[in-house]
Structure 1
Amino acid sequence: MNKQASQPRAIYYVVALQIWEYFSFYGMRALLILYLTNRLHYDDAHAYGLFSAYCSLVYVTPILGGFLADKLLGNRMAVMLGAFLMALGHLVLGASEIAPTFLYLSLAIIVCGYGLFKSNISCLLGELYQPDDPRRDGGFSLLYAAGNIGSIVAPIACGYVQEEYSWAMGFALAAIGMVAGLIIFLCGKRHFAHTAGVNRAALRARTAALPNWGWLLVLLVAAPLLVTVLFWQEWAVYALIVATAIGLAVLVKIFRQAQTPQQRKALGLIVTLTAFSLLFWAFAQQGGSSISLYIDRFVNRDMFGYSVPTAMFQSVNAFAVMLCGVVLAWLVKGRAGGNRSVRIWGKFALGLGLMSAGFCILTLSARWSAAYGHSSMPLMIAGLAVMGFAELFIDPVAMSQITRIEIPGVTGVLTGIYMLLSGAIANYLAGVIADQTSQSAFDAAGAIGYSINAYIGVFSEIAWGALGCVALALLIWLYQALRYRRHPLAPAS
């Protein structure tokens, strides 16, 4: 093997930690909505509200986590602290059967740990390479693939343990996975000696009445308590409003920094793509909430005498992303001719079209359930797989465009704004959409029959909504294509 081309040894410890982090996060997420409804007996509306609030806030806290890593902790310490908090949160979640306070506290601890971890593990990986190191792209591809492995295995393993033993054991397995990843990472400590460590001088410096390390301790205690209150009082939406207002103000400032028409066009394209992405993910995130409860209630999960746990279906999406991603990369390799804007809108239209097709399959499944009492498992798997394939035409395309922006020093900020809108806000809207399937949204006209009609209505409306987005994306694609034909040498916007 060419030693020059081989990856640095430290990357394998980062990759191992990423696998187990995805295992931990997605293992718990696959169980959460089922736990709230089946074990804690929350009504659907309450469960959807808490689930969407949790999924929203995990996209807000990485902003603070990135700041703490840059100024005080360094990426390595931030990642380790985040991993520890997530493991602790999953363990506390197992105790939530005793009192709801433990539920809110556990989710808050996980949200804070995720904030320290998610925003910094990629930055830690970046520290392993020189800016012009040709191995960098391969390292990030390896990290992405590793995450998919964890998210495929997690729902299967945690779902099986929950079904065979208990909810607490299912959550404990997620915690054990995170601890295992942290131990492996610590074993490779010597390989990270050249990366930035804790900024001791900054920690010792005083701000107001306390040294910064004292303020850091206050924050580590206060932040989970504050997020607990947000969950408990159902105030998460106010935190999202504040974060969104700040993000939009920053976006306006970036627009003012743009000095050329090309830069303003590029920013306009990013904003438009973000709006489409927000709607796409509001539809796609039904997978962890309304779709999961639909599978649990109306899909025949018996296979060779074994009832497949509902949580295991969460692996279908991740498996489709990984498998189709490999196939897609092979098919499009070396085919990058033509106008970039035309390609971008063509991909977005295809992704939204696949999302619409996926929900058409789910609508068919729900109608089948209404007619025969339950739907078939293969039909459900097909719908989830098509939705997973759709993801490959949205986020990678938008993120690629953000990294191409030619305004110095705004790439990271734009990425954060994109994650805020397509992650946090999209998950909140996903909860609003999912709530339309809850029985509390209808009259007491007829229990089960009414419930399946709610799923039929919501799934079909999403299919039509996604198709409307396709039509709009195709209009933009047609405009860009005609513009390119008339001015083939014009710069891509």
Structure 2
Amino acid sequence: MASVPSAPVPDHRTLFGHPRGLFVLFFAELWERFSFYGMRAILVLFLTKHFLFTEEPAYAIYGAYTSMVYIGPIIGGYLADKFLGARKAVLAGGILITIGHALLALLEGPRGEQGAALQGFYLGLAFIIVGTGFLKANISVLVGGLYPRDDVRRDGAFSIFYMGINAGAFVGPIVVGILGETVGWGWGFGVAGIGMALGLMVFVLFGRELRGVGEPPEPAALARRTGLGLSTEWLIYLGALVGVAVSWYLVGSQGAVGTLLIVASIVTIGYILWTAVARLPRQERDRIFAALFLIALCPLFWALFEQTGSSLNLYTDQAVDRTFLGWAIPASVFQSVNPFFIITLAPIFGALWVKLGRRGLEPSAPFKFGIGLILVGAGFFALILGAPAQGLTPALFVILLYAFHSAAELCFSPIGLSSMTRLSVKSMTGLMMGTWFLATAAGNFLAGLIAQATGGEGAGSAQVLEVYGRIGWFAMGIGVVVLLVAPLVNKLMHLDTLGVEDEHALAGDTAIGEPAAAGVRTEGEKKPGY
């Protein structure tokens, strides 16, 4: 049996009632999201205005890239669980992402040229894809590792962390978008890379505040030499470069990405189900089933939500009145509206959940998911009802759509992240978080297909709105069904015993049935919710 890693060093120093390590992760993720969302805001515009792609292939590339960004955490989560630990994985991911942005900035090429410059562009995306695979799942695992499973501060911590994500996502499209669209695309990609480098600096300089969370499970095994003469750690890094080469091929071959998603989903979900049935005690098994139910809702939510960077981005560019005080606001800047609402609404939602929780009235995670699906569908109707029969759509109605989608996101994404770390067993936490992002990848791939359904060149805004109406009704219908089954799913979560049984143990381990580890204090029995 693998040796059990030592517990994190107890640290009672807090900031605003939370461990100080939370705010290290907050700022590291802020800068990483600055780079990611800033680059994402100009990606489709760059493809259509610089490489002169038509809309449909641009949407296909966008869908392939954004979905692959979320496939990587499956492998990155597994490698962190078994070998690297979350901290080393996050550091390696940040370095790869920085290299990717540098390539995008330096290999722009002449306008309209789709030869070597386009392949260089794909290579930059490939580095970002693999780097995000190492970073994305594992930085969330670090947040969860700062708290016991039954700590009432967990959902609040993830809401704070989510504010860091959205602070970066708010500033990124403004800075990167304005520089990219008005000064030069390379300037936009370059400043995105600088943002990622700043995130790395924060993580390295203040990493001591994590107090042992995310260390390698077996440091000796990680340093052991392999048959190639490299340590296990450096063999993993070499494998990451091989992953870059594979990703470089896949970005330019979008059809293969759909097949990869299907295969990865079957293998991953199959492994999780086998582990849950064969190795876990009943309550832990039920929690895994509940987590998989939440994961199954991800593709629909993100397929609708992620129209932001593709079809909605070009709709804003072509069919929205963006003039303000005589200045035509770049379309990419509108992608900062969603994170603005997240930043302003997150404290309200966080306080609301806490207040309801103290009264035993807080909605359960599946119930919140149902609300989120209804809101994301309703957001499209805010745009549809405000669009005139002829002429440009007032920008107010695009902003209103983002308001609905932001409220939906707060009912969905931070709750999902918290649920994955709460419901999974310790040896599978990174894998479960990676599976969450795999489902998100499927949603991004479906988002590309939906965007292509809005029409090719010259299809017009009417077809875009017609597609939005159909998917809006569908999402709201599924949301109502989720509200109805939420009490049944919530029973599978066994929230009332999270602080009683041994934390994250697998069936067959000696710890099964023993009391919770010393020093893990139950903050109070949780209400089942509804």
* TM-score normalised to structure 1 length: 0.84
2-side partners of 1:158 and 1:356: how far apart?
29
SS class of match (1:438): coil
In the alignment, does 2:450 pair up with 1:433? yes
State the partner residue of 2:321.
300
Task: Identify if the C-alpha distance between structure 1 residues 401 and 123 changes in structure 2 by more than 3 Å, giving closer, same or farther.
Answer: closer
Deviations 1:74-132 (A, max 9, x none): 44333232222112111211314351101110100001111122233244456667999
In the alignment, does 2:286 pair up with 1:274? no
State the partner residue of 2:336.
315
Relative to total residues, which structure has the larger helix share, 1 or 2?
1
Give, in angstroms, the shift of residue 403 of structure 1. 4.8
How is 1:194-205 mapped onto 2 (pairs within 5 angstroms)? 201-205=220-224
How is 1:60-459 mapped onto 2 (pairs within 5 angstroms)? 60-94=71-105, 95-97=107-109, 99-124=117-142, 140-188=158-206, 201-211=220-230, 212=232, 215-234=235-254, 235-257=256-278, 266-336=287-357, 343-344=364-365, 346-365=367-386, 367-368=387-388, 371-403=389-421, 405=423, 409-421=427-439, 423-439=440-456, 447=458, 450-459=459-468
- Between 303-312 and 458-467, the greater mean CA deviation after superposition: 458-467
User: Does the CA-based 8 Å contact 1:40-1:97 persist in structure 2?
Assistant: no
User: Does the CA-based 8 Å contact 1:258-1:407 persist in structure 2?
Assistant: no
State the partner residue of 1:485.
none
In the alignment, does 2:30 pair up with 1:19? yes
Give structure 1 stretches of 5+ with no counterpart.
441-446, 482-489
- Between 64-73 and 400-409, the greater mean CA deviation after superposition: 400-409
SS class of match (2:70): coil
Deviations 1:373-396 (A, max 9, x none): 211011111111111111122234
Residue 119 of structure 2 aligns with an amino acid whose one-letter code is T
User: Does the CA-based 8 Å contact 2:64-2:445 persist in structure 1?
Assistant: yes
2-side partners of 1:163 and 1:297: how far apart?
14
Residue 231 of structure 1 aligns with an amino acid whose one-letter code is V
1-side partners of 2:283 and 2:83: how far apart?
37
Give, in angstroms, the shift of residue 53 of structure 1. 1.0
User: Does the CA-based 8 Å contact 2:141-2:430 persist in structure 1?
Assistant: no
1-side partners of 2:282 and 2:20: how far apart?
45
1-side partners of 2:212 and 2:528: how far apart?
41
Root mean square deviation of aligned Cα: 3.5
Task: Identify if the C-alpha distance between structure 1 residues 224 and 401 changes in structure 2 by more than 3 Å, giving closer, same or farther.
Answer: closer
SS class of match (1:360): helix
SS class of match (1:435): helix
Give, in angstroms, the shift of residue 269 of structure 1. 4.0
Residue 459 of structure 1 aligns with an amino acid whose one-letter code is Y
Give, in angstroms, the shift of residue 13 of structure 1. 4.1
User: Does the CA-based 8 Å contact 2:13-2:19 persist in structure 1?
Assistant: no
Task: Identify if the C-alpha distance between structure 1 residues 327 and 32 changes in structure 2 by more than 3 Å, giving closer, same or farther.
Answer: same
Give, in angstroms, the shift of residue 181 of structure 1. 2.6
Give, in angstroms, the shift of residue 29 of structure 1. 0.8
2-side partners of 1:411 and 1:37: how far apart?
40
User: Does the CA-based 8 Å contact 1:89-1:109 persist in structure 2?
Assistant: yes
Residue 205 of structure 1 aligns with an amino acid whose one-letter code is R
Task: Identify if the C-alpha distance between structure 1 residues 412 and 257 changes in structure 2 by more than 3 Å, giving closer, same or farther.
Answer: farther
2-side partners of 1:9 and 1:400: how far apart?
18
State the partner residue of 1:487.
none
2-side partners of 1:280 and 1:230: how far apart?
24
Give, in angstroms, the shift of residue 155 of structure 1. 0.8
2:472 pairs, out of 455, 458, 463, with 463
- Between 235-244 and 66-75, the greater mean CA deviation after superposition: 66-75
Identity of aligned pairs, percent? 34
Residue 464 of structure 1 aligns with an amino acid whose one-letter code is W
Give structure 2 stretches of 5+ with no counterpart.
1-10, 111-116, 491-526
User: Does the CA-based 8 Å contact 2:291-2:423 persist in structure 1?
Assistant: no
SS class of match (1:394): helix
Residue 354 of structure 1 aligns with an amino acid whose one-letter code is L
Give, in angstroms, the shift of residue 151 of structure 1. 0.9
Give, in angstroms, the shift of residue 138 of structure 1. 6.7
User: Does the CA-based 8 Å contact 2:303-2:443 persist in structure 1?
Assistant: yes
Give, in angstroms, the shift of residue 197 of structure 1. 6.3
Deviations 1:124-156 (A, max 9, x none): 456667999998777655433222211111111
2-side partners of 1:221 and 1:417: how far apart?
22
Task: Identify if the C-alpha distance between structure 1 residues 216 and 319 changes in structure 2 by more than 3 Å, giving closer, same or farther.
Answer: same
- Between 382-391 and 198-207, the greater mean CA deviation after superposition: 198-207
Residue 238 of structure 2 aligns with an amino acid whose one-letter code is V
2-side partners of 1:389 and 1:44: how far apart?
29
1-side partners of 2:222 and 2:366: how far apart?
47
Task: Identify if the C-alpha distance between structure 1 residues 327 and 213 changes in structure 2 by more than 3 Å, giving closer, same or farther.
Answer: closer
Give, in angstroms, the shift of residue 20 of structure 1. 0.9
Task: Identify if the C-alpha distance between structure 1 residues 110 and 354 changes in structure 2 by more than 3 Å, giving closer, same or farther.
Answer: same
Task: Identify if the C-alpha distance between structure 1 residues 492 and 264 changes in structure 2 by more than 3 Å, giving closer, same or farther.
Answer: farther
- Between 95-104 and 190-199, the greater mean CA deviation after superposition: 190-199
State the partner residue of 2:66.
55
Residue 319 of structure 1 aligns with an amino acid whose one-letter code is F
Give, in angstroms, the shift of residue 455 of structure 1. 0.5
Q: How many residues align?
A: 471
